[in-house]
Amino acid sequence: MDIQELPKERRIILKHADDPNYSNRISCYLREGGYDILKKAFAMKPEEVGEEVLKSGVRGRGGAGFPAGMKWKFLDRKSGKPIYLICNADESEPGTFKDRQIMYKDPHQLIEGMMIAAYAIGAKKAFIYIRAEFFEGARILDRAILEAKEKGFCGDNILGSDYSCDLVVHRGAGAYICGEETGLIESLEGKRPNPRIKPPYFPAVLGLYQCPTIVNNVETLCNVKHIVDMGGEEFSKIGKPNNTGTRIWCVSGQVRKPGYYEFECGALTLGEMIFGVCGGLLPGRSLKAVIPGGSSAKVLRADERFEGTLKDGTEFDWGLEDIPLDFDGPMAAGTMSGSGGIIVMDDTVDIVEAMANINAFYAHESCGQCTPCREGSLWMRKITKRMCSGGAREEDADLLLSVANQIEGRTICAFGEAAAWPTQSFIAKFRDDFVNKAKAGDQPRDEKSLQLI
């Protein structure tokens, strides 16, 4: 693929992230015009800020892709209870490593975005829930908050106004389920992070301490700053309608140049990303499968065709390489862009082992609250592990599918789907690999193939 023809990265969120002359201290942030947008926001009415976010069409960057402005609209302002803002910095979806770059390299951008969001929703207090594996990340944020407080950008009487909002860094302790917003809230309340059932526990109505709460992802909150900077309408011109702004794609697995790349939504296809931006596959390999949105997203098979009609009426007939990288493209192909974690697998991968690896993750991370998920994820791990230890049976594909189908739609939170979708899609698209595993019997692993379980 000709590199010259590739669209260029457009770094808005990561503008300064890898600049060798830019550290995570406030001096660098201020040098580049930091906190000017906070001043601009404070000159507006809070509801005007919310209107701009709504107009921008920005969709949540954590995984579900729900419009952030709409989420804010659902906030129960009539209850008279205090309002809370929580930044979801758990970054727990396997394949995702974008929020790390923001927090370690440009933490003030997040703080500015959060203080603008807090002002817009009238939050009394704001929290950053950060995964515990980010030891230094939590220290960087703590120091950045102190720096911002000293300058009056955060804490009491922000910018000399009568609006105050304290910002607290809260560390998790290694549980994937804390990325689910109601699980996160339970965790922040000091409990086991068992997700809450919706309805009635929509955080915007009954969130932290049963008070109205907004939970937004790190990247989403950074976008709020840029929306106020350029105006919602201008922001909505970046990317495509219904897919506005940039996205930070995280590419991992078997490509030559894995990494994080920020592009306008829809600026390039999955093929351009893998074979162009990421330098293609390792020498002599061919593409087998791609998981486009973190490990929960349904897998795509390299030689699949995707046909249908887009929302705007255009008909499409895509190969995997033609899928546009935005929200709607992967959705049209029957999967999702999720948190933007693209996991690439080449022809050396044993698909059943990859499945077993994923199943081990979900079995380990199920909170155990709902029986179908707790038991089902465990059985899926056991079955796939047995298959990889020489005990594969021809009926295993159907057995796995039956377990997965009994999890989906029968749990309190979306973890059930997250655990079932990989199995359902792997079986649907790679059934032969599962059947052949049984036919081959107890064979040692192909020497080219990496151990995955």
Partner 1 sequence: MENRLNLSEQTLSKIDEVVPKYPEKRSAALMVIHLVQNELGAVDDPACEWIAERLELTPINIKELITFYPMLRDKPWGKRHVRVCRTLPCALRGSYGTCKTLEKKLGVKEGHVREDGEFSLEFMECLADCGQGPVVIVDEQTYENIAGESAEKFADLLLKGKLESSEEFVSYEDGLVQEPK
Minimum CB distance to partner 1 smaller for 147 or for 229: 147
Minimum CB distance to partner 1 smaller for 23 or for 286: 23
Give the tokens for residue 338.
Answer: 């999720």
Minimum CB distance to partner 1 smaller for 236 or for 366: 366
DSSP letters, 207-227, are: -GGGS-EEEEEHHHHHHHHHH
Least Cβ distance, residue 246 to partner 1 (angstroms): 18
Beta bridge partners of residue 315, listed in sequence order: 309
Least Cβ distance, residue 350 to partner 1 (angstroms): 11
Minimum CB distance to partner 1 smaller for 104 or for 163: 104
Least Cβ distance, residue 324 to partner 1 (angstroms): 22
Least Cβ distance, residue 258 to partner 1 (angstroms): 4
Main-chain phi, psi angles of 366, to 5 degrees: -60, 135
Distance CA 80, CA 143 (A): 33
Give the H/E segment covering residue 372: helix 371-386
Least Cβ distance, residue 16 to partner 1 (angstroms): 10
**Placement of tokens 């809370």 in the chain:** 84
Minimum CB distance to partner 1 smaller for 90 or for 264: 90
3-state secondary structure of 259: strand
Minimum CB distance to partner 1 smaller for 196 or for 240: 196
3-state secondary structure of 166: strand
DSSP letters, 15-79, are: TTTT-TT--SSHHHHHHTTTTHHHHHHHTS-HHHHHHHHHHHT-B-SSSS--BHHHHHHT---SS
Least Cβ distance, residue 233 to partner 1 (angstroms): 34
Least Cβ distance, residue 360 to partner 1 (angstroms): 8
Distance between alpha carbon 118 and the CA centroid of its chain, in Å? 21
In residues, how long is the chain? 453
Minimum CB distance to partner 1 smaller for 4 or for 21: 21
Q: For the beta carbon of residue 117, count every other beta carbon within 10 angstroms.
A: 28
Residue closest to 113 by CA, chosen among 168, 154, 161: 154
Least Cβ distance, residue 89 to partner 1 (angstroms): 10
**Placement of tokens 């609006």 in the chain:** 163
Minimum CB distance to partner 1 smaller for 2 or for 136: 136
